[in-house]
Amino acid sequence: MTITHNLGFPRIGKERQLKIAVEAYWQGKINRQQLEQTGLELRTQHWQMQKQSGLDYIPVGDFSWYDQVLDMSCLLGVVPERFNWDGDTIDLDTYFRMARGRAPKGEPTSACEMTKWFDTNYHYIVPEITQHQTFKLSSSKLFDELTEAQIAGIKAKPVILGPITWLWLAKIKGQSFDKLDCLNDLVNVYGQILQQLKTQGVEWVQIDEPALVLDLPHAWQQAFESAYYRLQIKGLKTMVATYFGELGEQLQLAARLPVDGLHVDLVRAEHQLINVLDQASGYKVLSLGIINGRNIWRSDLDHCLDLLKAAQLKTDQELWLAPSCSLLHVPVDLDLENTLDDELKSWLAFALQKLEELDILKNTLNKGTLSTSRQLEQSRKILANKKESTRIHQESVQKRLGSINESILQRSLPYQDRRPLQRQWLNLPVFPTTTIGSFPQTENIRQQRKKYKQGEIDKQSYQEAMKNEIANTIRKQEALGLDVLVHGEPERNDMVEYFGEQLQGFAFTQYGWVQSYGSRCVKPPIIFGDISRSKPMTVDWITYAQSCTNKPVKAMLTGPVTILNWSFVRNDQPRSTTAEQIALALRDEVQDLEKAGIKIIQIDEAALRERLPLRKKDWQTYLRWSVRAFRITASSVADDTQIHTHMCYSEFNDIIHAIADMDADVITIETSRSDMKLLNAFENFDYPNEIGPGVYDIHSPNIPDSAGVIDLMTKAVKCIPADRLWINPDCGLKTRQWPEVELALECMVDSARTLRKQYAADIING
């Protein structure tokens, strides 16, 4: 017998209803009851959608107001002291203050750190633990949602983040200690959670332990065994879910855990199936992640069936089928898309379509191929059409790829020789100030873009409106006293989508939204074919901005690896090949910007680290082609042209050599939430180039104060010489409002002036 289930469903809604409601609550436009009603309606809709798709078990607990890791922290009662939690049930405003530093009620404070969820573009809120951390059940959210599902007639499978993965992701605050010292008390509360779920009549619980696909120290491997031997609840079945990679040396460990089921990812690690069947099939139910939960291409159902039939022969247990991971990482429903052409649309599958594929596989295995012959034949025809389509390959692109050699990967002079040439013409003060690129996307900007797309205004009118926004942004930056300006990106809907719309080989959706963090949703482009650039994409906007000021204006490009990693990427060639195609297109843009007189060019690689393989043995290959793609993009410029790059929340210690190999003149990074601790990597490595550590958190509406900015930069000076430091926000400012932006930047500029006086003597002396 074959069973189907799902590991998680997109929670934002087909039309981002959750985002709209949450932001309205933050702004005081709706009250808590109205927000909770929207949540209930979305959960009910999503459960019914999944039930109608034929699933046997439906996840509950995968819905979140902001982030599932933060949800688990609240369930465990882990709230940092600065949030003044009273120790009772954690209320929604305390929850939001932990996520973003501010909520409708409660004093603003610094938000918890945020970083990427394994190798995805989803961000989670990092748990904070202290040496004497206590744990206790402090949220009823999971149990309340289970009751809702049961009332709605849903065969519910609660989903919780496992204790070892949660603890692995947690960050120590204060005095250092061994995190595993917390495990005993932590497991006690997990036991209470499972007991409560059993009391509510649950049959199966899904416990997510993606840490099992990492390189784990021996002590952490042992922790799995000790924890799960204590988490056996008579009458309750548990399934440990692993995803994002192979179990590898942890396969034996996972196979012998005292749980009733094990989920493995066959999309990212198909080769592990034989070993999984040998090790685990006789002991527990196997759940095979056979449908890709992270990309939007149709599955090869015949290939899936070959794998599943082989698995059926090797196990006497029920075989469970599921997507490889939660469907959080894909859009909800392809049927909403009415602007994609029929051919391309036929190649795709969003969350609901993936569940349909899962149902076809189940029915084929349970009822035979005759029951699904029509669907299987349709799948074969679509895959054959895609393989033979003439729209995918461009001979000129393939030829240009073949011409890449080492000479185009190098600047003509090393950084130490470029630096005086750049400083001579820039003539900037010490601690120069700049921003990362974007400024607020105001209601007027959005309305003008909407009118243009709907044909209500012509191209010239739209361009004039955007130029007015650029000129206004330049004036505001000059008034604030910033040293290097940006044009503010009013014409850009998204830092990846904007470029994809002007490159061949990309396609776009209307409702292909996925959650990046909190209420932040993105609409990733679809890379379906070879990539090339037919004309300049940014030159007119940047040169116009430069004409509005005598100060240097920095051009803004999204880098090749970030465009790749923040798109749904074609699956018929190596990602490295696609990255080089994008890099060549961007190289042409860099050359055109320089010819137009733009001498500072920022090439953002915000996502370079997030797709770093989870196993260290695979790092070097990824880093080699990622750095190569950046250098293809950046290395054609003259030595006095300054190349910047920006990277989002990342741990840099273990890839600092690769960052140095990128050879950017200036790198800006997000450091404020980590209290500048990320800079330790640059100090220990003696990073040679210039760095702009983010001095305030743009993901929070809180306004920084000068004392805080100066304190952060004082910490930075201990790691990096003052004459190689820039001052800038953590990231772009598009999601903020102008009043708070102006106050924050005014504080930042004033702090820079104070720092210049404070460190003037040290800089002069050496």
**CA terminus-to-terminus distance, the chain:** 75
Higher pLDDT, residue 674 or 242: 242
Q: What percent of the chain has pLDDT over 90?
A: 86
- Gap between the Cα atoms of 649 and 125, Å rounded: 11
- Gap between the Cα atoms of 654 and 662, Å rounded: 15
Helix 539-547, helix 459-480: angle, nearest 10 = 50
Q: Judge residue 761's burial from the number of C-beta atoms within 10 Å of its C-beta, 0-12 exposed, 13-18 middle, 19 or more buried.
A: exposed
* Contact status, residue 106 vs residue 150, Cβ threshold 8 Å: no
Secondary structure of 665-682 in the HEC alphabet? Answer: CEEEECCHHHCCHHHHHH
Helix 575-595, helix 619-634: angle, nearest 10 = 20
461-472 tens-digit pLDDT: 999 999 999 999
Which residue, among 649, 417, 621, has the nearest Cα to 517 in the 3D structure? Answer: 649
Q: Which helix (H) or strand (E) holds 255?
A: helix 251-256
Q: Judge residue 373's burial from the number of C-beta atoms within 10 Å of its C-beta, 0-12 exposed, 13-18 middle, 19 or more buried.
A: exposed
DSSP-assigned states of every residue in 100-116: HS--SSS---PPPPEEE
- Phi, psi for residue 703 in degrees, rounded to 5: -90, 130
122-151 tens-digit pLDDT: 999 999 999 999 999 999 999 999 999 999
Cβ density class 147-172: b for 16+ within 10 Å, e for less? ebbeeeebbbbbbbbbbbbbbbbbee
The neighbour count for residue 506, using CB atoms within 10 Å, is 20
Beta strands in 472-518 (DSSP E): 485-486, 503-507, 514-517
> How big is the CA angle at 758 (ends 434 and 477), to the nearest 5 degrees?
20
- Gap between the Cα atoms of 137 and 195, Å rounded: 12
Encoded tokens for 338: 């009415």
* Contact status, residue 550 vs residue 485, Cβ threshold 8 Å: no
- Gap between the Cα atoms of 510 and 523, Å rounded: 8
Question: Greatest CA span in the chain, whole angstroms?
Answer: 84
Which one-letter DSSP state was computed for residue 660?
Answer: H
CA distance to 210, 481, 612, 666, per residue, from 214 (Å): 8, 47, 12, 32
- Gap between the Cα atoms of 290 and 751, Å rounded: 54
* Predicted pLDDT of residue 599: 96
Encoded tokens for 593: 């910007």
- Confidence grade of residue 763 (pLDDT, cut at 50, 70, 90): low
The neighbour count for residue 1, using CB atoms within 10 Å, is 10
Ranges of H-type helices in 457-574: 459-480, 497-500, 539-547, 560-565
259-295 tens-digit pLDDT: 999 999 999 999 999 999 999 877 789 999 999 999 9
Higher pLDDT, residue 192 or 115: 192
The neighbour count for residue 679, using CB atoms within 10 Å, is 24
690-729 tens-digit pLDDT: 999 888 877 777 888 899 889 889 988 988 899 999 999 9
- Gap between the Cα atoms of 528 and 506, Å rounded: 6
pLDDT above 70 for 652:
yes
* Contact status, residue 67 vs residue 518, Cβ threshold 8 Å: yes
* Predicted pLDDT of residue 16: 97
* Contact status, residue 688 vs residue 416, Cβ threshold 8 Å: yes
* Type of residue found at 243: Y
pLDDT above 50 for 440:
yes
Topology match between the domains 2-14+40-388 and 418-760:
yes
> Residue 728: CB partners within 8 Å, gap ≥ 6?
433, 434, 435, 436, 668, 692, 694, 695, 748
pLDDT above 80 for 553:
yes
Q: What is the pTM of this model?
A: 0.91
Which one-letter DSSP state was computed for residue 234?
Answer: T
- Phi, psi for residue 404 in degrees, rounded to 5: -65, 130
Encoded tokens for 126: 């990092």
> How big is the CA angle at 442 (ends 440 and 448), to the nearest 5 degrees?
130
572-631 tens-digit pLDDT: 999 999 999 999 999 999 999 999 999 999 999 988 888 899 999 999 999 999 999 999
526-548 tens-digit pLDDT: 999 999 999 999 999 999 999 99
Cβ density class 190-221: b for 16+ within 10 Å, e for less? bbebbebbbeeebebbbbbbbbbbbebeeebb
* Contact status, residue 209 vs residue 263, Cβ threshold 8 Å: no
CA distance to 679, 692, 758, 760, 761, per residue, from 430 (Å): 19, 12, 11, 8, 12
> How big is the CA angle at 383 (ends 382 and 386), to the nearest 5 degrees?
90
pLDDT above 70 for 762:
no
* Contact status, residue 593 vs residue 642, Cβ threshold 8 Å: no
- Gap between the Cα atoms of 78 and 177, Å rounded: 17
Ranges of H-type helices in 289-434: 301-314, 342-346, 351-367, 373-388, 395-402, 415-426
- 727 three-state secondary structure: strand
* Predicted pLDDT of residue 759: 87
Which residue, among 205, 121, 119, has the nearest Cα to 163 in the 3D structure? Answer: 205
- Phi, psi for residue 570 in degrees, rounded to 5: -55, 150
- Phi, psi for residue 485 in degrees, rounded to 5: -100, 165
* Predicted pLDDT of residue 673: 61
pLDDT above 60 for 341:
yes
- 606 three-state secondary structure: coil
Encoded tokens for 328: 């959080």
pLDDT above 80 for 420:
yes
Q: Report the chain's mean pLDDT, rounded to a whole number.
A: 94
CA distance to 210, 262, 273, 292, per residue, from 247 (Å): 9, 11, 10, 17
* Predicted pLDDT of residue 316: 78
* Predicted pLDDT of residue 158: 98
298-333 tens-digit pLDDT: 999 999 999 999 999 888 778 999 999 999 999 999
152-206 tens-digit pLDDT: 999 999 999 999 999 999 999 999 999 999 999 999 999 999 999 999 999 999 9
For the domain bounded by 2-14+40-388, which CATH number is listed? Answer: 3.20.20.210
pLDDT above 70 for 650:
no
* Type of residue found at 83: F
Which one-letter DSSP state was computed for residue 339?
Answer: S
For the domain bounded by 418-760, which CATH number is listed? Answer: 3.20.20.210
User: Which of the following is catalytic: 46, 263, 644, 699?
Assistant: 699
**Mean pLDDT of the 13-25 span:** 97
* Predicted pLDDT of residue 210: 98
* Predicted pLDDT of residue 694: 85
Q: Which helix (H) or strand (E) holds 157?
A: strand 156-161
- Confidence grade of residue 494 (pLDDT, cut at 50, 70, 90): confident
Say whether 303 is catalytic: no
pLDDT above 70 for 35:
yes
* Predicted pLDDT of residue 606: 87
- Confidence grade of residue 674 (pLDDT, cut at 50, 70, 90): low
- Gap between the Cα atoms of 277 and 286, Å rounded: 8
By mean pLDDT, which of 33-37, 44-48, 216-220, 438-442 is the weakest? 438-442
* Predicted pLDDT of residue 656: 86
- Gap between the Cα atoms of 63 and 392, Å rounded: 37
Instruction: Name beta bridge partners: 66.
Output: none
* Predicted pLDDT of residue 676: 65
- Gap between the Cα atoms of 138 and 73, Å rounded: 9
- Gap between the Cα atoms of 159 and 59, Å rounded: 6
* Predicted pLDDT of residue 761: 60
Instruction: Name beta bridge partners: 558.
Output: 604
Residue corresponding to tokens 């940014």: 538
User: Domain map of the chain by residue range?
Assistant: 2-14+40-388, 418-760
Which residue, among 548, 544, 556, has the nearest Cα to 489 in the 3D structure? Answer: 556
* Predicted pLDDT of residue 764: 47
